[in-house]
């Protein structure tokens, strides 16, 4: 009985942590990050209304409405995908926490020991407190080095998730969202989380170990509200627009250097020109170097979702278990198999799922009349995996 009560308490504690994410600076939906994205969205709305002639037809139509309607358009919030993301975020954040408990800390420790000569993380932390101008510059350089290493590992994993059929079966969960809002960031499969936590954790620990060998101590990254400054700034400058309907592209060559929401919109698009593009999270330079970068002038061709029909992924449990079935089919048949092989993605929403309400979208979310856009014929001819998600770029627990 005590064991059962402890389990229930642990689940409830985790549920409270998830519900308090808007007040946690380490969470992507921290209220300050959301507020800054809303402010940026307001500036975009004003710009579109002032200069409608240069906006895409989709943006111009959205900007005709009030700012509230622009921020929460009916075509997003009447779609079942939007509501499923809300339920799935709570479900996944609780369940995956216990599935992956301790993995990040173990990975960091393993990577650190491999490059530090056997020193433990706790021993290195005892030597990490330094001050002075030169030490501050070292700390800043160390922060950029850590972020570059982590982002490159993330880019490589992300690339493989799109190019290796069995990995795509799990990663397609994130891409199955046909409309997006900030909570869509958390539509991830635990297998994806496992890969990112494991390899990024090892990379993070190994980079720490190299720093110890070179400097004799581990520099402390400059932080704001407990978050590395570089990550904090990245989150503040429109992070929550990455998974949204609001297009923001940096002008000129800035988009090659600094990540924009548009960079990730293209990555989520099922248009043929956008498939397998823009894998980087913080540094688009990786995409430029490896020739996976693509940035159109506007969002007229951006259509979220997968090429194959993903209507089967319409509940929390199906988002978890259908990929395992499809991965088994890949292993058995030696080729990628879509949930409904040979059938292209449909423009209309899927029929109401038979699953209980708590693991599927609410009945009022289904309004087919709202969704009449047609998928171009040339898209239907493409049948290969495409496409983070983002939320992979978090320094694993146990690193501090």
DSSP 228: E
- Going by their DSSP bridges, the two strands 223-224 and 227-228 should be labelled as antiparallel
In the chain, where are the structural domains located?
1-400
Indicate if the alpha-carbon torsion angle 285, 287, 291, 293 is positive or negative.
negative
Rounded distance between C-alpha atoms, residue 244 and residue 390, angstroms: 13
DSSP 374: P
**Interval 105-146: pLDDT, tens:** 889 888 888 887 766 666 666 555 555 557 888 999 999 999
Residues 6+ apart with CB under 8 A from 142: 211, 219, 221
96-107 in b/e form (b: 16+ CB < 10 A) is bbeebeebbbbb
Please report the pLDDT score of residue 150 as a whole number. Answer: 96
Taking residues 166-188, what's their average pLDDT? 96
Q: What is the pTM of this model?
A: 0.81
Please report the pLDDT score of residue 115 as a whole number. Answer: 85
**Both tokens of residue 229?**
């400054």
Please report the pLDDT score of residue 131 as a whole number. Answer: 54
Please report the pLDDT score of residue 133 as a whole number. Answer: 59
Which H/E stretch holds residue 10? helix 2-19
What 3-state DSSP class applies to 224? strand
């Amino acid at each position: 009985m005590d064991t059962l009560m402890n389990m229930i308490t642990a689940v409830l504690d985790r549920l409270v942590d998830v519900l308090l994410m808007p007040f946690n600076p380490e969470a992507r939906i921290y209220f300050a990050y959301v507020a800054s994205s809303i402010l940026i969205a307001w500036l975009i709305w004003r710009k579109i209304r002032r200069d409608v002639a240069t906006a895409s037809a989709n943006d111009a139509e959205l900007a005709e409405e009030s700012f509230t309607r622009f921020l929460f358009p009916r075509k997003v919030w009447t779609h079942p995908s939007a509501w499923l993301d809300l339920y799935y975020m709570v479900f996944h954040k609780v369940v995956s926490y216990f599935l992956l408990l301790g993995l990040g800390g173990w990975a960091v420790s393993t990577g650190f020991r491999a490059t530090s000569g056997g020193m433990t993380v706790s021993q290195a932390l005892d030597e990490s407190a330094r001050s002075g101008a030169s030490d501050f510059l070292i700390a800043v350089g160390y922060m950029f080095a850590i972020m570059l290493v982590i982002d490159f590992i993330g880019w490589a994993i992300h690339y493989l998730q799109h190019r290796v059929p069995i990995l795509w079966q799990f990663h397609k969960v994130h891409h199955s969202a046909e409309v997006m809002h900030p909570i869509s960031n958390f539509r991830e499969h635990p297998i994806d989380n496992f890969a990112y936590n494991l390899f990024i954790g090892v990379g993070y620990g190994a980079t720490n170990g190299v720093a110890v060998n070179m400097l004799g101590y581990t520099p402390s990254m400059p932080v704001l509200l407990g978050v590395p400054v570089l990550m904090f700034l990245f989150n503040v400058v429109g992070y929550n627009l990455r998974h949204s309907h609001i297009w923001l592209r940096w002008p000129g060559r800035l988009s090659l250097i600094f990540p924009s929401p548009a960079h990730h919109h293209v990555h989520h698009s099922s248009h043929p020109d956008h498939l397998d593009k823009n894998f980087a999270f913080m540094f688009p330079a990786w995409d430029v170097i490896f020739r996976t970068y693509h940035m159109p002038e506007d969002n007229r061709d951006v259509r979220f979702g997968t090429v194959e029909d993903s209507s089967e992924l319409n509940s929390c449990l199906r988002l978890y278990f259908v990929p395992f079935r499809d991965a088994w089919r890949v292993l058995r048949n030696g080729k990628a198999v879509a949930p409904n092989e040979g059938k292209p993605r449909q423009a209309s929403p899927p029929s109401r799922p038979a699953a209980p309400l708590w693991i599927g979208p609410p009945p009022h979310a289904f309004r087919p009349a709202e969704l009449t856009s047609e998928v171009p014929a040339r898209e239907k001819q493409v049948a290969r995996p495409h496409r983070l998600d983002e939320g992979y770029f978090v320094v694993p627990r146990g690193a501090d």
